Amino acid sequence: MPAIVLVGAQWGDEGKGKATDLMGSDVDYVVKFNGGNNAGHTVVIEGEDGTREKYALHLLPSGILSPNVVPVIGNGVVIDLEVLFKELDGLEARGVDTSRLIVSGSAHIIAPYNRTLDKVTERFLGKRKIGTTGRGIGPTYADKMNRVGIRVQDLFDPHILQQKAEAALSFKNQVLVKIYNRRAIGVDEVVDELLSYRKLLEPMVCDTGLLLHEAMQENKTILFEAGQATMLDIDHGTYPFVTSSNATAGGASTGSGLPPHAIDRVISVIKAYTTRVGAGPFPTELFDESGEYLRAQGFEFGTTTGRPRRCGWYDAPIARYAARINGVTDFVLTKLDVLSGLETIPVCVAYDVKGVRHDEVPVNQTDFHHAKPIYQEFPGWTEDITGARTFEDLPKNAQNYILALEAMSGSRISAIGVGPEREQVVVRHDLLD
């Protein structure tokens, strides 16, 4: 059975749950391999009695809600222990069995001082703000790269934990006190807080790389679930307005311990238009009534932050870029229904950068910042498409729009979301065939 990577093709919030739903019970393991509690996603579960429960997950893999799936937090994730156990407690209170969760001993922990540093640093940036969620994720990844981070496994050696906290705070307290005029953080309060989770965490911790290797040998299906999205990748996104980890398909290997050749398929989720939360360049962003229309019709507000999302038209160069960077085998196009009722639908097919046409995303971030979209207009449709279940059920103009996007996006469009409910989807190609 396959190992599948699921990534966002734009700046996040593409609706990756729609793709997860399509694979359903055929998945044995769901692995979160990057990010922290900055990547919110909403999952709706239907009970046997037909009732629907909506869950907003921030740190946990979506597989936590499926009784036959083993959810795994890989080594590439940074974990806020308080958030982790709040989420678990919240799910348990709603009757969800969370006992299957597995956590990598090599995953890094978000220490309290990194949450504090994240917030004060962003505040002092003023107009140069990155748009961080202020949850300590960036500083924790920085500690990881500087080799001064605290790992999950360190909780089981209090002596090592004490030493690491002392080393970190000897410098960070000087920054907090002398630069930001904040109080110093005590080593003991940090150590005590982290150790308070030790007993709760211990049954979950293992060598997740070995676990997944054995799962592959047993012919299990593994789904790797990326936080954030391609254009927020630390290396391949719109730097510096990016996340602090690798949110592209390559991150699935480094963030889990499973080798690249084990990955059979890369599914990328992309909206029928484009959204972004936070600062940074966004060529197709709309500042008029069209942007407000997309925001209202698509209910574009961040799952984690609640912030209104910036909205714009579909960007084909970004789609091609995502297809190339990730090795996309299948696109899942979401929220097509949001476009119903529009007379015409513009699609960005290239950029104008200071009078020069660019058919691909410019490598120079200054050029990308100054990129103006070159649009091609497509006829819209007025029909309600939420009841469509086959491609042929869609209005001809909607079919033509999809086929046009497919031709210019670098990979086939295998499924189309036509409404907010999990069954409101048109499947053109099986994602697991």
Active site amino acids: 13, 41
Spatial separation of the C-alpha atoms in residues 81 and 14, rounded to whole Å? 27
CA gap 227, 77 in Å, rounded = 9
> Residue 412 forms beta bridges with which residues?
330
Cα 365-370-372 angle, rounded to 5 deg? 125
Query: Residue 300: which residues within 8 A CB-CB, separation 6 or more?
Result: 13, 275, 294, 308, 309, 311
- Going by C-alpha positions, the residue among 332, 292, 229 that lies closest to residue 20 is 332
What is the β-pairing status of strands 29-32 and 344-353?
unpaired
Tell me the C-alpha distance between 30 and 209, whole Å: 13
- Torsion angle of C-alpha atoms 33, 413, 42, 305, degrees rounded to 10: 80
Tokens of 33: 């391999």
Dist CA 173 CA 163 (whole Å): 15
Amino acid residing at 88: L
Q: Which of 255, 283, 76, 112 is nearest to 187 (CA)?
A: 112
Count of CA atoms in the C-beta half-sphere (13 A) of 299: 6
Tell me how crowded residue 28 is: count the other CB atoms within 10 A of its CB: 18
Residue in 203, 175, 173 with CA at minimum distance from that of residue 189: 173
